[in-house]
Chain A
Amino acid sequence: MSQTLEESLFQRKQVGFLLSPDKSLAEMLQKMWSPEVLEFIVFDKGGKAIEHMFNEPPDLLVVDNRLTDISGREVANLVKSENVYRQLPVVMCVDPVDVETPWNWNKVEVDDFLVRPFNPSEVRDRINLTLCRAMRALDANPLSKLPGNTSIIQKIQQLIDGGDDFALAYCDLDYFKSYNDKYGFSRGDEILMMSARLIVNTIRSYQGVQSFVGHVGGDDFVFILPPDLVEDACQRIIKAFDDIVPHFYDPVDRKAGNITSIDREGNTKVFPLMAISLAVVVNTNKRITHYGEVSSIAMGLKKKAKEDPKSSYVIDQRKA
């Protein structure tokens, strides 16, 4: 196939390892994608591949159950038991006889499997799908399922490179930590889930425009909108947040309008109810050339937004 990377499903070249003594399988896979899209490196013995894999992990691992020196399951488990490699998608190749009795997929943590005789177009699309699925899962925040830092950076750079005007808002919660300390992390997570839903739905309600919401981690979120909509969005988010957040406090604290918590030194301290701070960086006329500038401007603004104990937003007014 002579498909180019741009035409492919992937943003960059993918490298796959095939661990199999089956020459025809190797040939089939290597022919299916152009090497600039997905290149397969073939190992006929499992043992040889493992050190390679640990030093330079591929984007995909295809393991044949016909391996003679080490079992396919063992290879798969080796990969999945290490958190560093856990995200690496593994596809297992089996013979019909292998799956006559059901496998315990909790013990063999592969992502998909292929059964001989291989149907080439099915193999192609299963592998494409496995790679796409892995890319989606890789960068999602495990709590909110929103895209994480890799996707956020990619998105910002893509907008900068395209020369588009955009506004990026950096959102974080004031007094989240004291809420978490007092009520425990599982109720803290409730707040993060609520904030994520609220931001996403507010941003998605602007239809037909370039928008994006990401979860940096913890109580930090970002969203991107065209500059002319961003102020309205900030106001709506603040209004909704301030309306909803009191419902996540116990009635006594809600009534008092604050919580009493003990800080690290053992002192009793009173904290206000949570608020949301938004720092907005506006990029017009290609003022910004690198995503790093966006985050450093945002961090400066964030301090300003945080000076106000109530929910507030600050918009960067600097012109190009």
Chain B
Amino acid sequence: MAEDLKTSIRGEILQVKDLPTLPHVLQKVSKLVEDPDASTDAIAKVISTDQVLSAKVLKMVNSPIYGFPGRISSIQHALVLLGFNVVRGIIISTSVFDMMVQAMKGLWEHSLGCATACNIIARRAGFEDPEEYAVAGLLHDLGKVVTAVQLPEVHASVLETVKTKDMTYFQAEKDVLGFGHDRINAWLARHWGLPPNIRESMSRHHAPQMAEFYKPMSCVVHIGDFLVRLFEFGNSGDDQTAYLRPEALIELKFKMSDLDKVMDEMSDQLLEVSDLTF
């Protein structure tokens, strides 16, 4: 896989290096990592609120250096296996882009909300390790972050296209970049050696029926994305409500009543999540 990804229409290039992360999350994690009494759980909880930091932690633990590539998809497990020293190292080396907070704040909340939703949905569907589904939900729009930070002008014209042509963000990306964030996700996930379940659900959350190996996880993220938009929690760059693919509900054997229960739980938990914002 090539190091970078070249957009087909404007010919600009997205780069894997120096992905941004949120400064206040970094601060919180650094503090916890320095505190000898802080538990792995507490640190994992904070790291899970940041897409880029989460992705970096997972990338590191799944790299061949540790000897079990592509096996770990929970932040909790990653922390136990990496140790605080390595996590501290990741934090130190993570560059911070101030513009991230400005440009993508809505997206961050959207991702966090989606993670929460995915956790609830996965538990309702009776899946093991709902935290892994939350990770997939958290990372599902990572490709958008990369475009916003690395190609701010392209990102601006995507947003503009959404408005003027009344397209979804996803369609607008294809219009401007030549491909959507699903492809950027696939490219990033492969580059970072993320586990195959996370990778596939990141790249298939818009078309979960096309998922090859991890259809249930892709469906959970699809529904999570839909519901969090319905709640208008955060902003994924779209104005309109997303389309919910019926195949996703069928795959999870969900009835409307299941969705109702998920939404009840979401409204409670999203309140808590919004406290995390600032």
Residues of A within 8 A of B (CB): 143, 189-190, 193-194, 197-198, 200-202, 204-205, 207-208, 240, 243-244, 246-248
Complex contact B67–A189 (CB within 8 A): yes
- A8 to chain B minimum Cβ distance, whole angstroms, is 29
Q: How far is the CA of A198 from the CA of B61 in the complex (A)?
A: 12
Residues of A within 8 A of B77 (CB): 240, 243-244, 247
Complex contact A205–B84 (CB within 8 A): yes
Answer whether residue B80 sits at the interface, using C-beta atoms and an 8 A cutoff.
yes
Complex contact B68–A201 (CB within 8 A): no
- A188 to chain B minimum Cβ distance, whole angstroms, is 11
Answer whether residue B194 sits at the interface, using C-beta atoms and an 8 A cutoff.
no
Residues of A within 8 A of B84 (CB): 201, 204-205
Complex contact B81–A194 (CB within 8 A): yes
Residues of A within 8 A of B278 (CB): none
Q: How far is the CA of A189 from the CA of B77 in the complex (A)?
A: 18
Answer whether residue B271 sits at the interface, using C-beta atoms and an 8 A cutoff.
no
Q: Which residue of A lies closest to B65 (CB)?
A: A193
Answer whether residue B243 sits at the interface, using C-beta atoms and an 8 A cutoff.
no
If A193-B66, A197-B66, A207-B36 touch, whether A247 touches B83 (CB-CB below 8 Å) is: no
Complex A-B: 6 CB contacts under 8 Å = A193-B67, A198-B81, A201-B81, A204-B83, A205-B36, A247-B77
Complex contact A202–B80 (CB within 8 A): yes
Q: How far is the CA of A144 from the CA of B136 in the complex (A)?
A: 30
- Tell me which of B36, B66, B68, B73 contacts A248 (CB under 8 A): B68
Answer whether residue B71 sits at the interface, using C-beta atoms and an 8 A cutoff.
yes
Residues of A within 8 A of B128 (CB): 246
Answer whether residue B82 sits at the interface, using C-beta atoms and an 8 A cutoff.
yes
If A243-B77, A244-B77, A247-B77 touch, whether A201 touches B82 (CB-CB below 8 Å) is: yes
If A189-B67, A190-B71, A243-B77 touch, whether A201 touches B83 (CB-CB below 8 Å) is: yes
Interface size, B (range): 10 to 19
Answer whether residue B57 sits at the interface, using C-beta atoms and an 8 A cutoff.
no
Q: How far is the CA of A132 from the CA of B83 in the complex (A)?
A: 26
Residues of B within 8 A of A (CB): 36, 66-68, 71-73, 76-77, 80-85, 128
- B247 to chain A minimum Cβ distance, whole angstroms, is 21
Q: Which residue of A lies closest to B214 (CB)?
A: A251
**The 4 A-B residue pairs with the shortest CB-CB distance in the complex, in nearest-first order:** A193-B67, A201-B83, A190-B68, A197-B81
If A190-B71, A207-B36 touch, whether A244 touches B66 (CB-CB below 8 Å) is: no
- Tell me which of B36, B68, B73, B83 contacts A193 (CB under 8 A): B68
Residues of A within 8 A of B67 (CB): 143, 189-190, 193-194
- B71 to chain A minimum Cβ distance, whole angstroms, is 6
Q: How far is the CA of A163 from the CA of B121 in the complex (A)?
A: 56
Q: How far is the CA of A98 from the CA of B125 in the complex (A)?
A: 71
Q: How far is the CA of A244 from the CA of B82 in the complex (A)?
A: 13
Complex contact B83–A244 (CB within 8 A): no
Complex contact B68–A198 (CB within 8 A): no
Residues of A within 8 A of B80 (CB): 197-198, 201-202, 240, 244
- A22 to chain B minimum Cβ distance, whole angstroms, is 43
Between A243, A247, A248, the greatest number of chain B beta carbons within 10 A of the residue's beta carbon is seen for: A247
Complex contact B81–A244 (CB within 8 A): yes
Q: How far is the CA of A123 from the CA of B82 in the complex (A)?
A: 38
- A210 to chain B minimum Cβ distance, whole angstroms, is 16
- Tell me which of A190, A197, A208, A248 contacts B83 (CB under 8 A): A197
Q: How far is the CA of A240 from the CA of B83 in the complex (A)?
A: 13
Residues of B within 8 A of A201 (CB): 80-84
Complex contact B71–A248 (CB within 8 A): yes
Q: Which residue of A lies closest to B84 (CB)?
A: A205
If A207-B36, A244-B77 touch, whether A200 touches B83 (CB-CB below 8 Å) is: yes
Between A200, A244, A248, the greatest number of chain B beta carbons within 10 A of the residue's beta carbon is seen for: A244
- B57 to chain A minimum Cβ distance, whole angstroms, is 13
Q: Which residue of B lies closest to A239 (CB)?
A: B80
Residues of B within 8 A of A246 (CB): 128
Q: Which residue of A lies closest to B68 (CB)?
A: A190
Q: How far is the CA of A32 from the CA of B71 in the complex (A)?
A: 52
Residues of A within 8 A of B82 (CB): 197, 201
Q: How far is the CA of A240 from the CA of B80 in the complex (A)?
A: 7
Q: How far is the CA of A316 from the CA of B76 in the complex (A)?
A: 32
Complex contact B81–A247 (CB within 8 A): no
Residues of A within 8 A of B68 (CB): 190, 193-194, 248
Residues of A within 8 A of B81 (CB): 194, 197-198, 201, 244
- Tell me which of B36, B71, B85 contacts A247 (CB under 8 A): B71
Residues of A within 8 A of B71 (CB): 190, 194, 247-248
Residues of B within 8 A of A248 (CB): 68, 71
Q: How far is the CA of A98 from the CA of B228 in the complex (A)?
A: 70
Q: How far is the CA of A151 from the CA of B72 in the complex (A)?
A: 31
Residues of B within 8 A of A193 (CB): 66-68
